[in-house]
Structure formats: structure tokens, C-alpha cells
Amino acid sequence: MKYVSAKIQGRVQGVGFRYFTQHAAMSHDVVGWVKNEDDGAVSLEAYGEDENIDRFLEDVKKGPSRFAKVSEVDVNRLNGDPEYTSFVVRY
């Protein structure tokens, strides 16, 4: 199992990015959360099988539409088992 945090920068707010991320997580059997940050970035934590996390992060790097533009994704490996039961959008 893999547990990661990520900060996504670029044009990622106001373009449906959090809901896209939630859908991608559910598609890849990943649990965790995603939220907008005050600096215009989006942060997330995700937990799942190694290959599912890898595929999920590849989707996140592409973004939801032609209106979104991901310029940077900073991923960090975390330790532990967060015991998330779903993937939620935090406000």
C-alpha cells in the first residue's frame, strides 16, 4: 500500500479540479481527500495499492479539461495507515 500527499500547482482552481480528482480516485480505488489552498494550489492525501496510486497521480497530472493547466505536482510519500474509507472533497 502507498500513502502520499501532493500539492498541485497551476490553473487548478475554478476549473472542476477537486471533483475531477475525486472521480479519478474512485476510479482507481484510492481513498483520501482533496482541497483548495489559499495560495491557489490544490492539496491532497491519497492511500491505496501502489499501482492504483501511480495511475491516479498520472490522471491528476493531466487535469480535468482544457481549462485546467497543471504546472507542477510535488508528491511526498507518507508513513502509516490513515484509515480513510472514501475520497472526499474538503472545504
Active site amino acids: 18, 36
CA 19 to CA 24: how far, in whole Å?
A: 9
> Are the C-beta atoms of residues 10 and 64 closer than 8 Å to each other?
no
CA 37 to CA 45: how far, in whole Å?
A: 13
